[in-house]
Amino acid sequence: MEYTTAEFEVLYRRCFPPAMRMACGLLHDEDEARDVVHEIFLKLLESDIKMENPSAFILRAVRNASLNRINMLATREKIRKRLTLDAPTDVFSPDLQNEDVESAVNRVLTDRERQVVKLIYSEGLSYKTAADRLGISVASINKHVVGALKNYEPTFKPLNHDRRTERNIDSEDARCPFLFVRS
């Protein structure tokens, strides 16, 4: 679809932040996420497809492009980057998903577990550093993390399988050739 530069700038300013957050959430690398998002915007600019909801299209395309990049990596590389081994089955809004995860963490975990999880996952500290900060042993940190994951597990399954936000995303899939995850 032919956009003027002004129109495209408006679209970019509106859609870039959620797309970037989604790509970062999947790829765990800001530079790589930015590269993926830029490619999708360029493809949108060059395509002749008219779409009523370009925002949904961009999110879907960014998600699939990110998963394609992950699939190309070896397992060791995936685990090193803490990337998912299983592709998510549904489309989700990254902001909505993050809110759900945070609310579930606050709801199902104990205070200590919540504290440990935030140090390990939010701040990205190592077990040793987190242990030093909390004044407990590394083994305790490990115990709390495993406990948090087990407590979170029942909440995790429904989130992964039932999440669906914008229903018109499926109608965009049929038309866009680069929306699909390559297996």
Can you give the binding site for another protein, defined by CB under 8 A? 5, 8-9, 12-13, 16-17, 20-21, 24-26, 28, 30, 33-34, 38, 41-42, 45-46, 75-76, 79-80, 82-86, 97-98, 101-102, 105, 117-118, 120-122, 124, 126-127, 142, 145-146, 149-150, 152-153, 156, 160
Report how far residue 84's alpha carbon sits from residue 38's, in angstroms, rounded to the nearest whole number. Answer: 22
Q: Which is nearer to another protein, 72 or 149 (CB)?
A: 149
CB of 182 to another protein, least distance (A): 20
Q: How far is the CB of 180 from another protein (least distance, A)?
A: 21
Shortest gap between Cβ of 136 and another protein (angstroms)? 14
Give the residue among 31, 83, 29, 95 at the shortest CA–CA distance from 59: 95
The minimum distance between CB 149 and another protein, in angstroms, equals 5
Measured over the CA atoms of residue 111, residue 113, residue 117 and residue 123, the dihedral's sign is: positive
- For 5, 65, 70, 80, 82, the CA distances from 77, given in Å and listed in that order, are 39, 17, 9, 5, 8
d(CA 160, CA 82): 17
Q: Which is nearer to another protein, 71 or 171 (CB)?
A: 71
Q: Which is nearer to another protein, 50 or 76 (CB)?
A: 76
134-140: which pairs have CB atoms within 8 A and are 24 or more residues apart?
none
